[in-house]
Structure 1
Amino acid sequence: MFDFAIVGGGIVGLSTGLALGKRYPHARILVLEKENQWAFHQTGNNSGVIHSGIYYKPGSFKAKFCRDGSRSMVEFCQEHGIDHEVCGKVIVATEEQELPRLENLYKRGLENGIKVQKISPEAVKEIEPHVRCVGGIRVFSTGIVNYKQVCLKYAELIQQQGGELRLNTKVLKISPSGQNQVLETNNGSFETRFVINCAGLHSDRVAKLGRAEPQAKIVPFRGEYYELTPEKRYLVKTLIYPVPNPDFPFLGVHFTRMIDNSVHAGPNAVLSFKREGYKKTDFNLGDLAEVITYPGFWKLAAKHADEGIQEIIRSFSKAAFTRSLQKLIPEVQAQDLVPTHAGVRAQALKNDGSLVDDFLIVPGQNSIHVCNAPSPAATSSLEIGTAIVAQIPHQSHLETVVITAGDRG
């Protein structure tokens, strides 16, 4: 019998387990992951960036969690000896018409309490000599890390707190048992007082297993990357981003120096025909049918038809992908790029075609369902875990009773 069972062993599930152990040190905590390793899906295939929070609407959970999370993540890495670097990044306008958007982004950074600086094209070149632009912003708090290493440390700390971790354990059914819940899996059944759903790409499905209404459907978008050949890595020293289109939900292709010193370029963003579809050829009829029969998808597709077509073209044309990158660094040539891993983003989409832009946490019977934890979830994971635990109804049976001398009579 467990006090808490967490479904999903990505960075959000593990950070929640860590926060639970700190809040309730005597609780029996279980973390279930269907894969054979932690951080197998979104966490293990992301860009490894410690984000600053500059992009997010002031006052939103994303803005607050990211700003605070960028600090707490760096402190966590310092405390536990995890390789990381606060290298900063530049966001650049490559055309005059982008300068007003760059100015708005600068103001947003100030509103979010982030250290940002407007810099001239000449100052950009002092940081990134090969970039061509008409203006830029320097963001000082952006960093890089390997989030798989972070997750392994989270898992280790959960075990030290007394938590139980189970890999290769997929939840198939959730059934009530009095005031408790029974998780039936391919690896046995587990009874728990409370369920926390952090299943990422499958969070809406797990919510329905728990008889909760997720309020949105997960639509998978694959982000495809190229990597600079080793002899061309000198072209990028830190991180280089374009000015994002505020009407499009993705940032656009950019350059990211990884913690292993490789340089990734991308991603584009295309619909994946499988929830865990990391290759163009990956296909699951059930997953695809869910998307194409969902009215919200077609409303989204109609709204962003032009951008969507360009993303598809970049997916199948290396030349088109290269041209997008050349807007930032003209010296980059197609032969300098080799394909590397892709990631799949679990994007929560409402029936009206609007994207769930912030964190979506849905309460259920003796359960909480994290149905949207978008980027910057990895950066913000320590903050998100604490916030999720704060939403759990008070567990009085787990509180430590302190008897003072006056109480002994």
Structure 2
Amino acid sequence: MARYVVIGGGIVGLATAHRITLDRPGAEVTVLEKEPRLAAHQTGHNSGVIHAGVYYRPGSLKAELCRAGSRSMVEFCAENGIPVQRCGKLIVATDEAELPRLRALHERALANRLPVRLLTPAEAAEYEPAMRCVEALRVESTGIVDFTEVCVALAALAEKSGARIRLGARVTGIASRRSGPAGAPELVVNSTAGEVVADVLVNCAGLHADRVARLAGVVPPARIIPFRGEYYELRPERRDLVRGLIYPVPDPQFPFLGVHLTRMIDGSVHAGPNAVLALAREGYSWGRINPREVADLVGYPGLWRLARRHGRYGLTEVRRSLSRRRFASSLARLVPELTERDLVPSAAGVRAQAIAPDGSLVDDFLIVDADRQVHVLNAPSPAATSSLEIAKHIVARLPR
């Protein structure tokens, strides 16, 4: 029976390990996670939204896997006793100039076969009385969950089926060899927790996925660029201003959805995120700077081309990052009663966004095959929503 090593203990890596144990009973599966806990980065720092698949190009992997994932994730949570809620969300146009984009989004959602409808201001107020808009798009199939709890369940199921999960196991080298003079080829993965020998490798390393690919001898077609998303929470006494999820109409040039308001599964309300270039791959604050990684960013032509193309947008995000007043002003376009006094800082996240050498943002999931290897090189949002379906997609293409 084949031996599999999965690098990365976030939701995509754990879902993949679990899927291997389901589809290939008896397989030897090892998960290597460099942190001392699971879901330590993107998975554990997101907004907990189960996306419906509104934003993604029809026929793309994001569109297909997100739509399927929004169903399978809810089913998985129900089967495993994880609190989940189908609350729906509103995407709102706050002025007339945004209406063409909102209506184009409505058409895209219909093309993606999603249950959506346009609402008048009065109809939208039935869902969110404190919100103001000129028109809104209601997306019924959006939900909320704690994806860290999903990871705990996936890990338990995988281990119950025989998988091994090694924490504190940062991968330091990957090599190919033959098991004897005329033996079959195998992969040797060295880590800070020891060596793992496998027949097949799956790279789900998120913020470090391109680096792991290079360790394995694969030249990634894009570079991971870290963007920090900063959040605030509403003070408990102001949470009643938001009943569910309120999003602005996004700019289609960017993969970021704009600062929005999200009621979490625990009842708290988060505001954000913005999107600023992080100065480390795990740069959760302005003070977290990794000089080597900054030099790597500065030396990448794709980043400079991206900056020339979208520098004004980036400057706006930096200003919002440095000013709670600006952040609150963006939210007040959605809910006018909100002020900066209603916001308290919350934990930030870092998005692993792949950027092509020409400066374009990779806008779909990017999964690359190599000899006995699969590398997930772009899996930002909606990867958590889609994780169970991404896992099926990966395992279907793995050699046995």
Q: Shift in Å at residue 343 of structure 1? A: 0.3
* Whole-angstrom distance in 2 between the partners of 1:122 and 1:48: 28
Matches within 5 A, 1:73-112: 73-112=73-112
Matches within 5 A, 1:88-167: 88-167=88-167
**TM-score w.r.t. structure 1 length?**
0.95
User: Could you tell me whether the CA contact under 8 Å between 2:166 and 2:193 is conserved in 1?
Assistant: no
- The reply on whether 1:203 has 2:209 as its aligned counterpart is yes
User: Could you tell me whether the CA contact under 8 Å between 2:3 and 2:198 is conserved in 1?
Assistant: yes
User: Could you tell me whether the CA contact under 8 Å between 1:2 and 1:191 is conserved in 2?
Assistant: no
SS in 2 for 1:133: coil
* Whole-angstrom distance in 2 between the partners of 1:367 and 1:247: 32
SS in 2 for 1:304: helix
Residue aligning to 1:52: 52
Q: Shift in Å at residue 281 of structure 1? A: 0.5
Residue aligning to 2:181: none
Q: Shift in Å at residue 229 of structure 1? A: 0.2
Q: Residue 247 of structure 1: which of 245, 253, 270 is its match?
A: 253
* Whole-angstrom distance in 1 between the partners of 2:60 and 2:160: 34
* Whole-angstrom distance in 1 between the partners of 2:116 and 2:372: 43
Matches within 5 A, 1:199-238: 199-238=205-244
Residue aligning to 2:358: 352
Residue aligning to 1:72: 72
User: Could you tell me whether the CA contact under 8 Å between 1:94 and 1:134 is conserved in 2?
Assistant: yes
- What are the Cα deviations for residues 94-149 of structure 1, in whole angstroms up to 9, with x where unaligned? 01010111111111111101000110001111100011110001000000000000
Q: Shift in Å at residue 175 of structure 1? A: 1.2
Aligned residue type for 1:140: E
Q: Shift in Å at residue 219 of structure 1? A: 0.3
Q: Shift in Å at residue 387 of structure 1? A: 0.2
User: Could you tell me whether the CA contact under 8 Å between 2:306 and 2:360 is conserved in 1?
Assistant: yes
User: Could you tell me whether the CA contact under 8 Å between 1:248 and 1:304 is conserved in 2?
Assistant: no
SS in 2 for 1:273: coil
- The reply on whether 1:312 has 2:334 as its aligned counterpart is no
* Whole-angstrom distance in 2 between the partners of 1:29 and 1:211: 22
SS in 1 for 2:383: coil
User: Could you tell me whether the CA contact under 8 Å between 1:210 and 1:364 is conserved in 2?
Assistant: no
* Whole-angstrom distance in 1 between the partners of 2:380 and 2:346: 22
Q: Residue 277 of structure 1: which of 259, 274, 283 is its match?
A: 283
Residue aligning to 1:339: 345
Q: Residue 369 of structure 1: which of 358, 366, 375 is its match?
A: 375
- What are the Cα deviations for residues 61-111 of structure 1, in whole angstroms up to 9, with x where unaligned? 000000000000000011111011100000100010101111111111111
Q: Identity of aligned pairs, percent?
A: 54
Residue aligning to 1:303: 309
Q: Shift in Å at residue 249 of structure 1? A: 2.6
* Whole-angstrom distance in 2 between the partners of 1:103 and 1:249: 18
- What are the Cα deviations for residues 285-327 of structure 1, in whole angstroms up to 9, with x where unaligned? 1111111110100111111111111100000011111111110
Q: Shift in Å at residue 176 of structure 1? A: 1.1
* Whole-angstrom distance in 2 between the partners of 1:133 and 1:211: 51
**TM-score w.r.t. structure 2 length?**
0.97
* Whole-angstrom distance in 2 between the partners of 1:268 and 1:259: 21
Aligned residue type for 1:298: W
Aligned residue type for 1:223: G
* Whole-angstrom distance in 1 between the partners of 2:331 and 2:126: 20
The alignment covers a number of residue pairs equal to 394
Q: Shift in Å at residue 2 of structure 1? A: 6.6
Q: Shift in Å at residue 177 of structure 1? A: 1.7
Aligned residue type for 2:46: N
Q: Shift in Å at residue 370 of structure 1? A: 0.7
SS in 2 for 1:297: helix
* Whole-angstrom distance in 2 between the partners of 1:88 and 1:65: 19
Aligned residue type for 1:338: V
* Whole-angstrom distance in 2 between the partners of 1:118 and 1:38: 40
User: Could you tell me whether the CA contact under 8 Å between 2:91 and 2:249 is conserved in 1?
Assistant: yes
Tell me how large the CA RMSD over aligned residues is: 0.9
User: Could you tell me whether the CA contact under 8 Å between 1:212 and 1:362 is conserved in 2?
Assistant: no
* Whole-angstrom distance in 2 between the partners of 1:106 and 1:358: 20
User: Could you tell me whether the CA contact under 8 Å between 1:36 and 1:168 is conserved in 2?
Assistant: yes
User: Could you tell me whether the CA contact under 8 Å between 1:54 and 1:108 is conserved in 2?
Assistant: yes
Q: Shift in Å at residue 365 of structure 1? A: 2.4
Residue aligning to 1:328: 334
Q: Residue 379 of structure 1: which of 379, 382, 385 is its match?
A: 385
SS in 1 for 2:173: strand
Aligned residue type for 1:248: F
Stretch moving more, 89-98 or 360-369: 360-369
Q: Shift in Å at residue 344 of structure 1? A: 0.1
Which segments of 5 or more consecutive residues in structure 1 lack a partner in the other structure?
396-409
